[in-house]
Chains A and B, each alone.
Chain A
């Protein structure tokens, strides 16, 4: 395959960025999107140019490191992570636009790499359970009803890649935050911090400068793990419940 790539190039956080055009040839349709970028970078290095910086780690679709907006879609045209996207999803001769996640809470560090530590701070605000750690506890010590376990697992699938923020017209982190809140709030292990968790995580989300939810639904469409839009409804419910309880105290 022969492709034209238009890639966002930006030297550092303070520099002005712009789209640069590159041609890549001899791309196999079996390559992953990241392997295609590796090919481009090898060529750039051979020519003595600065390679395109992009985030990647496991390349198995489970770590949440890769993060590219491809032709206007977070993670590209398939419902998966960029690393699991293959070049067979494109046609020979295509022009592909590659941009970083766009949100003021995710500032660009270089080229296609953005700083997603705002997500870490949302997790630090309440995305954990205070339980003694050590050897795995006996599985039957804390019974969890099957529907609750399924619900928790569905939300635990969130890998924190930030595609929801990138796709949201308001740069909101509602889907990410709701996945984390719902995952822990439904489980008995998460019950002691049920109220403080949702209040603190939403508070941190606002403090990081993410936008609000307008129920556009773009986040759930972009999510490679299929976190549903109704997850946000669930978090709103938890937030209202916690606010009412806090008001009574």
Chain B
């Protein structure tokens, strides 16, 4: 069955839909967590520490966190691999372009591929910046996420990279969520408007929620 799914263009889209929804669920949780930065360093840092102790005493320190990380890495790899393979197929299926060109589909639909690449690059930077601290501006302090976040958004490039990526995320989710519903066969005429509304609301809330943090630092609400 796994073979049938992976070998079919429809099956590969299913892999994209499921992995995308897993990442989307994570993003909603992540965004809500981020908002705790507006309640001060104490609450934010405490929340960050709690993420490492979730599930104790059943789970050991950081086990849950690592489990989430593994699932996310698998989702990203599955999403990117199927996107790459499907895109290759799509480009090969339409080698000759029309001479008479027309603007096609919505902006969100047309930017799925480039948006995905931007998001993949962003994830790499984001982890190197705020998880490992490898490319962090100023001294990265393990266990002091509040200060680290403030440092990142005190640089112009930190803000630019983040805001651009979050706008790309909004567009990606806008088309992606609705598409995933169609791929999984849960869309219908009656549900179409509701699905599109949920996609737009999710896209808007995620983008606004994430961008609130750099805006907070820039305006001095968070310092």
Q: Are A170 and B178 in contact (CB under 8 A)?
A: no
B9 within 8 A of A: yes
* Complex CA–CA separation, A97 to B104 (angstroms): 17
B154 within 8 A of A: no
B19 within 8 A of A: no
Residue from B9, B102, B109, B185 within 8 A of A212 (CB atoms): B9
- Nearest neighbor of A229 in chain B, beta-carbon distance: B182
A157 within 8 A of B: no
B183 within 8 A of A: yes
Interface of B is mostly: helix
* Complex CA–CA separation, A6 to B96 (angstroms): 17
A218 within 8 A of B: yes
Q: Are B8 and A203 in contact (CB under 8 A)?
A: yes
Give the size of the chain B interface in residues (CB under 8 angstroms): 44
* Complex CA–CA separation, A92 to B8 (angstroms): 48
Q: Are A211 and B99 in contact (CB under 8 A)?
A: no
Residue from B9, B92, B185 within 8 A of A233 (CB atoms): B185
Q: How far is the CB of B114 from chain A (nearest CB, A)?
A: 13
A104 within 8 A of B: yes
* Cβ proximity bits B62-100 to A, threshold 8 Å, 1 near / 0 not: 000000000000000000000000100111111111111
Residue from B11, B96, B185 within 8 A of A234 (CB atoms): B185
Residues on B with C-beta less than 8 A from A168 are 94
Q: How far is the CB of A175 from chain B (nearest CB, A)?
A: 12
Q: Are A212 and B86 in contact (CB under 8 A)?
A: yes
Q: Are A169 and B105 in contact (CB under 8 A)?
A: yes
* Complex CA–CA separation, A239 to B93 (angstroms): 22
* Complex CA–CA separation, A229 to B99 (angstroms): 26
Q: Are B100 and A97 in contact (CB under 8 A)?
A: yes
Task: Tell which of B51-59, B186-194, B211-219 binds the partner.
Answer: B186-194
A236 within 8 A of B: yes
Residue from B12, B14, B104, B187 within 8 A of A169 (CB atoms): B104
B-contacting residues, A189-229, CB 8 Å:
199, 202-203, 205-206, 209-218, 228-229
Residue from B90, B96, B101, B184 within 8 A of A236 (CB atoms): B184
* Complex CA–CA separation, A102 to B11 (angstroms): 25
Q: A215-B182, A216-B105 given as contacts; is B93 within 8 A of A230 (CB)?
A: no
Residues of chain A touching chain B, judged by Cβ–Cβ distance below 8 Å, are 6, 8, 19, 69, 71-73, 97, 99, 102-105, 168-172, 199, 202-203, 205-206, 209-218, 228-230, 232-241, 243-244, 246-247
Given contacts A171-B94, A213-B10, A213-B13, 8 further A-B contacts (CB under 8 A): A8-B99, A104-B92, A214-B112, A216-B109, A216-B110, A236-B10, A236-B182, A243-B5
